[in-house]
Amino acid sequence: MFVTLLALTRLFSPPALAADSSAEVDAPDRAVSVDIEIDPLAYALGGGSLHGGLHVGHVRFDLGVFSLVLPEALHGNPGFTAQGHGFGLKTDWFPREGNTGFHMGAQLDVTQQTTIHDASTESEMYRELATGGRVGFRLQHRSGLYVNPWVGLIYRVTSPTTIELAGETFAQSRLTPFPTLHVGWRL
């Protein structure tokens, strides 16, 4: 992971940064700007993701839509499929000018979740309200393209902790770590 982040840092930093560690990344310094981004991991998991961001000073506001299908290896319940789609609101604070580098913030998501018992195809659908905190690190190229690995700790406010389907139990925690990587373009 460290080697990957190091390679991404070199790719998304101007050449001057290698010679002078005090140089700033050539990021837009406008007071207000917008960006658009996707989460490639959501696509890899049979879903999708599209987010729009509004930067005002050191703060970024995000409205996004997403969907994904979680494989058994990620939810830990053999014989079940978990899938969902929804929308989310995020706010991040960037201490650095140009809104690059480290950031931290909060999010609120509303998701339509479906849990399916694979053998019987019996399913249960429910709405989930989730909130949490997040931290990340945006690596931005001077063209405006960027990668943004981040991790959130999500609290599922309204989700059931167990779901009974076909005599078997699907269990999930209310508190869930959520690591991912967004790729975007700041206009």
Least confident of 15-24, 32-41, 88-97, 121-130: 15-24
Report residue 148 CA to chain centroid gap. Answer: 9
CATH code where residue 158 lies: 2.40.160.20
Work out how many domains the chain is built from and give that number. Answer: 1
Segment 121-165, tens digit of pLDDT = 999 999 999 999 999 999 999 999 999 999 999 999 999 999 999
pLDDT of residue 73: 86
Rounded Cα distance, 187 and 17, in Å: 22
pLDDT of residue 30: 66
Query: Which residue range forms the structural domain that includes residue 11?
Result: 2-186
Q: How confident is the model at residue 64 (pLDDT cuts 50, 70, 90)?
A: very high
Among 186, 182, 37, smallest CA distance to 98 is for 186
Whether pLDDT at 57 is above 70: yes
Whether pLDDT at 21 is above 70: no
